[in-house]
Amino acid sequence: MITVQIRFLARLREAVGQAGMTLAMETGTLVALRQALSVRVEASILERLFAENVRIAVNQTLWDGATPLTQGDEVAFLPPVTGG
pTM for the predicted model, two decimal places? 0.92
**Which candidate, 35, 36, 10, 11, places its Cα nearest to that of 21?**
36
3-state DSSP percent of the chain in helix, strand and coil, to 5: 25, 30, 45
**Interval 42-83: pLDDT, tens:** 999 999 999 999 999 999 999 999 999 999 999 999 998 765
**Does residue 15 sit within a domain?**
yes
On whether the CB atoms of residues 24 and 43 are closer than 8 A, the answer is no
Q: What residues make up the domain containing 24?
A: 2-78
Inside any domain, residue 31: yes
Indicate whether 83 belongs to any domain.
no
What are 23-49's pLDDT values in tens digits? 999 999 999 999 999 999 999 999 999
Cα 50 to its chain centre, rounded Å, is: 8
Total structural domains within the chain: 1
